Amino acid sequence: MTTKQSIVSSSLLWREPGKAPCDSHARIAFADGLITDVAVGGPAIRDGRLLMPALVNAHDHVRGLRHLAFGARDERFETWRAALYAHPRIDVYSNACLALGRMALAGIGTTLCVYSSIRVDRLIDDARAIARAAKDVGIRVGFVVPFRNRCTMALGDDQAVLALQSPEDRALIEKTWLYPWPSAETYIEIAREIGKLESDTFFVQYGPNSPHACSDELMEAIIAAAAADNRRIHMHFLESEPQRQWADAAFPNGILKHYDAMGLFSERFTGAHGIWLSQAECDFLASRGASIAVNTSSNLHLYSGLSPIDRYLRAGLKFAFGLDSFSLDDDEDMLRELRLSFYLHSVAHRPPGLTPASLFDAALKTGFWIVTNKHGYGAIEPGMPMDVLSLDYAAMTRDLIEGMIEPEDAMIARASSRYVRDLWVAGRQIVSDGKLVTIDLAAAEQDVLAQARAAGEQMRALKPAMARHQKTLRDFYDRGLHMSPQSRS
Ligand SMILES: [Zn+2]
C-alpha cells in the first residue's frame, strides 16, 4: 500500500551531520515512513529552520519520575543503585509516556529502554504498557528484557550482604529488595512472549543486567536464545571501578575470556558504559564486532569515570551515546550530551579524539544499530527512515553576523533541545512547533507526580533504612569485600 507523498522543507539541511556542510533551501519528500527524495538549492525557503536526522538515545531506562524525585542523589554508582529501590509503584504506561514524550521534545526519535524492574511476575504486562506508550508517543523503542538472578544488592552474595545489615533492617530488605528469581527457562519464555510485541517501531532485546547479576547458567540460556532469535544482547559492562575489581577477582583468566567461551560477544552484543575496559579488551571486543553505549553525563553524576573513547577509536570498537535517564542538567537534552561528549573526548584529551564526523557517525548510525538491530540510518537520503528533526536555527544564531560562521560550526557549539521545533518518526509528525502532538504530556506528568506523591509517606518511612543500607554498602566496598572469594558466587 502506498500512501501519498508528503514534503517537508526548510532553510537549511544538515544531511550528513559532521561529514558534510549544510545545504540551503531543502525539500524532503517521503512516503510510507521512508525518505523518497531530497532536493536542495531550489526556490528560496526562509523559515529559519534546520533539518537533520532525529537523535538516538542508545542507553536509557525510560524513567518518567526522575532519580532526584525519589531520593537518589548523585553519588558513587554502587551505593546510588540501592536508592532505586525507593522508586514508588506508579503506572508503567504513564511513567513511560512521560519519559518518551520528553525525549521526543528533545529531538530523540529512537531510544533504548533498559527496563529495570525486578518484579518478573509483572514483566509481560509492563512490557505491553511500554509498547503501548511507545506507539502512542510515536518514537522508536528498543525494549531490553531484564534478567538477573543473583547479587541483587552489591557485588557479592545476597545472603552475605544481608548478614551485614542490622537485624532490624534485614526483614525489611528481604521483603523490599530481594525477590525469588525464576528459572532460566521461565525467564526465556517471558522474553519470547515479550518478543511478540515487536513491530516496525518496537524492538526487543535480551538484557542480562550485568556480569555479576547473572549466573553462568542464566547467561548461557540468554546467549543461546538470543542467537536463535537473532536478538541483540545489551548488558551493563564494567561501569564502575568496583566492578572492574570484582571482575578481576572473579575471573583470574580475564572476564572477556570467560564470557567469550560462552559465545557472548558478537555484533549483536552491546556493553553499556564500558568505562573500565583496557586497550586489549577494546581490541578484542572490536574483533568480535561488539559495541559500547557511552553515557557521559551519567558517568559524571555517578562518579564512574570517563569512557576511554580514545581506546575505542584506536581499536575500531563501535560505540554510541545514551542518556541513561539523566543528562548533565537532569533533562533529556541529547544535543547537549553530544556536545559534552565531543568536548570531553576531542583531540585535547587523550588522542585519538572525536571529530564531528566520528561523533555523529557513532551517535546516529551505531546508535540506531544498537537499539533496532538494523543498519541504514544516519543521513537524510532516499531510502532512509523519515526520522527527522527541525531546529529553530534562526533563534539559535540570532546574534551572529551573517556570512561569518558555517551553520555546522554553530550547531556543534550551540545546538540544544530548547531549539527543537519539529520531529517526524517513520514519517509521522509527533512534535510540531515545539509541542508534542501525540499525547497530553502535561497530563502524563501530573498523573505520575500525583501517584508518586501519594506514595510519599511510605517512601519517607523507608528512607532511614535506605540510608543505613547505603552506609553498609559503602563499608562493604571500602573494606574490599567485593574482591573476596565469597563475591564469586
Ligand atoms: Zn543504565
The Å distance, Cα 383 to ligand 1 centre, comes to 32
The Å distance, Cα 239 to ligand 1 centre, comes to 9
The pLDDT tens digits for 85-114 are 888 999 999 999 999 999 999 999 999 999
Q: Is residue 439 part of a domain?
A: no
Share of the chain above pLDDT 90, in %: 90
Q: What is the CATH number of the domain that holds 317?
A: 3.20.20.140
The Å distance, Cα 236 to ligand 1 centre, comes to 7
H helices within 196-254, ranges in order? Answer: 216-229, 241-250
The pLDDT tens digits for 138-192 are 999 999 999 999 998 999 999 999 999 988 899 888 887 788 899 999 999 999 9
Alpha carbon distance 235, 278 (integer Å): 18
The Å distance, Cα 309 to ligand 1 centre, comes to 18
The whole-number average pLDDT for the span 27-41 is 97
Q: How many CB atoms lie within 10 A of CB 21?
A: 13
Return the HEC string of 442-465. Answer: HHHHHHHHHHHHHCHHHHHHHHHH
The answer to whether the predicted template modeling score (pTM) of the entire model surpasses 0.85 is yes
The structural domain count of the chain equals 2
The Å distance, Cα 354 to ligand 1 centre, comes to 23
Single out the residue of 204, 260, 214 nearest to residue 235, CA to CA: 214
Q: Check whether residue 166 and residue 273 sit in a common domain.
A: yes
The Å distance, Cα 256 to ligand 1 centre, comes to 20
Q: Does the structure show a pLDDT above 90 at 485?
A: no
The Å distance, Cα 326 to ligand 1 centre, comes to 10
The Å distance, Cα 457 to ligand 1 centre, comes to 28
Q: How many CB atoms lie within 10 A of CB 421?
A: 21
Q: Is residue 446 part of a domain?
A: no
Number of Cα atoms under 13 Å in the Cβ half of residue 179:
18
Alpha carbon distance 30, 427 (integer Å): 7
Alpha carbon distance 263, 471 (integer Å): 38
pLDDT band for 4, please (50, 70, 90 cuts).
Answer: confident
The pLDDT tens digits for 190-233 are 999 999 999 999 999 999 999 999 999 999 999 999 999 999 99
Q: Is residue 210 part of a domain?
A: yes
H or E stretch covering 270: strand 269-273
The Å distance, Cα 56 to ligand 1 centre, comes to 15
The pLDDT tens digits for 45-101 are 999 999 999 999 999 999 999 999 999 999 999 999 888 888 899 999 999 999 999
Q: Is residue 451 part of a domain?
A: no
Q: Check whether residue 81 and residue 28 sit in a common domain.
A: no
Alpha carbon distance 143, 174 (integer Å): 28
C-alpha cell at 400: 551572529
The Å distance, Cα 174 to ligand 1 centre, comes to 24
DSSP secondary structure string for all residues of 249-275: HH-TT-HHHHHHHHT--STTEEEEE-T
Measured over all CA atoms, what is the biggest interatomic distance in the chain, rounded to whole angstroms?
A: 76
Q: Check whether residue 316 and residue 263 sit in a common domain.
A: yes
CB 7 within 8 A of CB 42: no
Q: Check whether residue 244 and residue 338 sit in a common domain.
A: yes
Q: How many CB atoms lie within 10 A of CB 299?
A: 20
